[in-house]
Amino acid sequence: MSRQVILDTETTGLSWEKGNRVVEIGCIELVERRPTGRHFQRYLNPEREMEPGAAEVTGLSWDFLRDKALFTDVVGEFLEFIRGAELVIHNAAFDVGFLNSELARLGPDFGVIGDHASGVLDTLALAKQRFPGQRNSLDALCKRLGVDNGHRTLHGALLDAELLADVYLAMTSGQSEFALGAEDAAAKASNDGILLALAPVVRRMLSEDEAAAHRARLARVAKKSGGTLVWGTDA
């Protein structure tokens, strides 16, 4: 059974190295590329203020977050949700770096994200391969792939995970259909060739009048060209 978890985080700022923390985790489960309806979402108390830029794009504030659970309170449930799944993340280095930082705060027994998931697929890297030289933000991909993100006025981990699930499925769909289409086209070309080869060749003999008319036409062409036609005037 192929199990994937689409994951996104929101944070107090852009750098975990500078002490920024995770304030929201959002996850969507896919099994055999189909949403199961299971999800994981938690707001977290980061034990610090939001940076102005992060507060602006998320709409989250310290006043809203101060009474939420700490990461240590939800880590067991979170790790159980992602256990054994392939994580699908947009700009994976960012989210994985923050989550590994949170795990490190709890001690070495918690390891890193790679110890709990089966692997990580970075949809940003995937998009850069498919659409080189183009903008590949989540919003840009939604627009390019026809995913409705009109309700995304602010960044939210669960909302962004839902959008990313649609984007990921759209980016990776059609591969088997394309292969089947190519096989069908090749088969059709082959069949057309066979039918052409099998088509009977119809030979029609000219009547004497038609042969005479043909010779007369060739003679007129030869006269106009000032020479003799290479194929002669014999029918």
- What is the chain's pLDDT, residue by residue, as a tens digit (235 residues)? 799 999 999 999 999 999 999 999 999 999 999 999 999 999 999 999 999 999 999 999 999 999 999 999 999 999 999 999 999 999 999 999 999 999 999 999 999 999 999 999 999 999 999 999 999 999 999 999 999 998 888 899 999 999 999 999 999 986 433 333 433 444 344 344 433 333 343 344 455 655 555 565 555 544 444 444 444 444 4
Task: State yes or no: is 155 an active-site residue.
Answer: yes
Q: Could you give the angle at the alpha carbon of 110 between the alpha carbons of 88 and 14, nearest 5°? A: 55
Ordered domains of the chain (ranges, CATH): 3-176 (3.30.420.10)
R_g over Cα of the chain: 33
The catalytic residue among 90, 116, 155, 214 is 155
Extract the tokens encoding 211. Answer: 């042969």
**Which sign, positive or negative, has the C-alpha torsion 126, 131, 135, 138?**
negative
133 CB neighbour count, 10 Å cutoff: 6
Closest CA to 41 of 29, 57, 50: 29
